[in-house]
Amino acid sequence: MSRALIVSASLIALLLAGAGFAGWRALRSIDEPLNVAAPLVFKVPAGARFARVAGELGRLGVVPQPRAWALYARWKGLAGAIKAGEYEILPGSTPRSVLDKLVSGQVLLHSLTIVDGWRVEDLLAAMRRNPDILSTLSAPANLPDKLGLAGNPEGRFLPETYRFPRGTSDVELLRQAHVALGRVLDAAWAGRDPAIPLQNADQLLIMASIVEKESAVPEELPKIAGLYLHRLSIGMRLQADPTVIYGLGGSYDGTVHTVDLRTDGPYNTYTRVGLPPTPIALAGAAAINATAHPEKTDALYFVASGKGDGSHVFSATLEQQNAAVAQYLSRQRR
């Protein structure tokens, strides 16, 4: 063999070896940790090509070999399968794991916590403040038409923490919360204590909303529920301040006045016997279940203990109640 042929063969061998090494190195990079020291959020626009995504992450210094990553995605037939959305790259992620996330649509989820005892207007305000939620509603009056609800939407959403992708609409989140409430309420009604003096699940929800507003101490919920259901069973007026406050609406100034208690209205349980026409707040699962399974009690009255922990003193007679009120006032003066 001539010297020229030997040199040419050697060069070809070196080139093939170099190409093989480069290919092996590129393939290996698919499983090497990315250059991410803290969680990184990035967005894949609708219709974006994978090569563009890889290139952008390469320019950010996240992916050291974006071209190799793009070629790998094409080789696996996944380049055209990525989904638009907001994603999070965590420290320790590899190009392979990020590609899997993009293909499966594991978008970054944000959260909204609906607080027990909120009113619908509080919920709408919280959604409007949340930058990750698409706001389309302006007032509670819009809800019945948007969600197919009959009448007042108050109390028709379950307090809970909900997870969702950025750009989810307020209507969609409310729909989820309404469905979640239905599941909890139906289960509570089906498994209720048959002795409770309520006619249907809607009445259970109304009573639960009153119980929700009356105590910040979870352990007291069954007893407060038992007290109000006791009043209801003997035909006694509920005399619940939260219902009066709800009926006052925007005119409530932070204090329930004597004139407020004496002014009749559909939510004034001092002037009317029975339940108000609708819930007065968003009742949580704990309040709903406590109302479905109330504590058996002969108590008819209760007042704040004055201990500063949100607890109450319960009494079976008016005399006991008056004494408890006097003790509360004495503590307040001290």
C-beta pairs of 52-55 under 8 Å, 24+ apart in sequence: 53/82, 53/102
Single-letter amino acid code for the residue at 314: F
For residue 84, give every residue at least 6 positions away whose Cβ sits within 8 Å of its Cβ, in sequence order, or none: 44, 45, 46, 47, 48
- Domain ends where: 104, 137, 160? 104
pLDDT on residue 10: 44
pLDDT on residue 5: 45
Q: Which residues form the domain of 243?
A: 207-333
Q: Are β-strands 168-169 and 301-304 bridged in parallel, bridged antiparallel, or unpaired?
A: unpaired
Q: Are residues 113 and 96 in the same domain?
A: no
- Domain ends where: 89, 104, 119? 104
- Whether this prediction's pTM lies above 0.95 is answered by no
Phi, psi of 302 (to 5 degrees): -155, 155
On the question of pLDDT at 145 being above 70, the answer is yes
Q: Are residues 79 and 149 in the same domain?
A: no
Q: Quote the CA–CA distance of 308 and 16 in Å, as a whole number.
A: 80
Confidence band of 151 (pLDDT split at 50, 70, 90): confident
In the chain, where do the E strands start and end?
A: 40-44, 85-89, 109-113, 133-134, 161-165, 168-169, 301-304, 312-315
Q: Are residues 114 and 30 in the same domain?
A: no
Question: What's the mean per-residue pLDDT of the chain?
Answer: 89
Calculate mean pLDDT across residues 181-185: 97
pLDDT tens by residue, 252-297:
999 999 999 999 999 999 999 999 999 999 999 999 999 999 999 9
- Residue 77 CB coordination number (10 Å): 8
Lowest mean pLDDT: which of 134-138, 221-225, 250-254? Answer: 134-138
Is residue 3 a part of any domain in this protein?
Answer: no
Is residue 10 a part of any domain in this protein?
Answer: no
On the question of pLDDT at 210 being above 70, the answer is yes
pLDDT on residue 26: 53
Tokens 């699940």 found at = 201
Is residue 213 a part of any domain in this protein?
Answer: yes
Q: Are residues 128 and 218 in the same domain?
A: no
Lowest mean pLDDT: which of 132-141, 176-185, 211-220, 313-322? Answer: 132-141
CA atoms within 13 A on the CB side of 326: 6
pLDDT on residue 182: 96
Q: Is 169 helix (H, G, I), strand (E, B) or coil?
A: strand
Q: Are residues 309 and 229 in the same domain?
A: yes
- Domain ends where: 58, 76, 104? 104
Q: Are residues 73 and 114 in the same domain?
A: no
Is residue 21 a part of any domain in this protein?
Answer: no
Q: Are residues 87 and 179 in the same domain?
A: no
Q: Which run of H or E residues covers position 103?
A: helix 95-104
pLDDT on residue 105: 95
pLDDT on residue 252: 93
Supply the DSSP string of 234-296, one letter for each residue: TT-----HHHHHHHHGGG--SS--HHHHHS--TT-TTTSSS--SS-SS---HHHHHHHHSPPP
Q: Are residues 267 and 329 in the same domain?
A: yes
Is residue 259 a part of any domain in this protein?
Answer: yes
pLDDT tens by residue, 22-81:
344 556 779 999 989 999 999 999 999 999 999 999 999 999 999 999 999 999 999 999
Single-letter amino acid code for the residue at 22: A
Is residue 88 a part of any domain in this protein?
Answer: yes
Q: Are residues 98 and 115 in the same domain?
A: no
- Rg of the chain's alpha carbons, rounded to an integer? 32
Is residue 138 a part of any domain in this protein?
Answer: yes
Q: Quote the CA–CA distance of 5 and 277 in Å, as a whole number.
A: 99
Q: Are residues 286 and 250 in the same domain?
A: yes
pLDDT on residue 216: 81
On the question of pLDDT at 237 being above 90, the answer is yes
pLDDT on residue 272: 96
pLDDT on residue 94: 94
Single-letter amino acid code for the residue at 43: K
Calculate mean pLDDT across residues 300-316: 89
pLDDT on residue 125: 92
Q: Are residues 66 and 142 in the same domain?
A: no
pLDDT on residue 148: 84
Q: Are residues 156 and 236 in the same domain?
A: no
Is residue 99 a part of any domain in this protein?
Answer: yes
Calculate mean pLDDT across residues 242-250: 95
CATH number at residue 41: 3.30.1490.480
Single-letter amino acid code for the residue at 241: D
Q: Quote the CA–CA distance of 205 and 289 in Å, as a whole number.
A: 10
pLDDT tens by residue, 72-93:
999 999 999 999 999 999 999 9
Instruction: Say which DSSP state 106 is in.
Output: -
Q: Quote the CA–CA distance of 276 and 133 in Å, as a whole number.
A: 33
Q: Which of 207 and 254 is assigned the larger pLDDT? A: 207
On the question of pLDDT at 299 being above 50, the answer is yes
Tally of structural domains, the chain: 3
Lowest mean pLDDT: which of 148-152, 168-172, 225-229, 241-245? Answer: 148-152
CA atoms within 13 A on the CB side of 312: 21
CA of residue 203 relative to chain centroid, distance:
24
163 burial class (0-12, 13-18, 19+ CB within 10 angstroms)? exposed
pLDDT on residue 137: 84
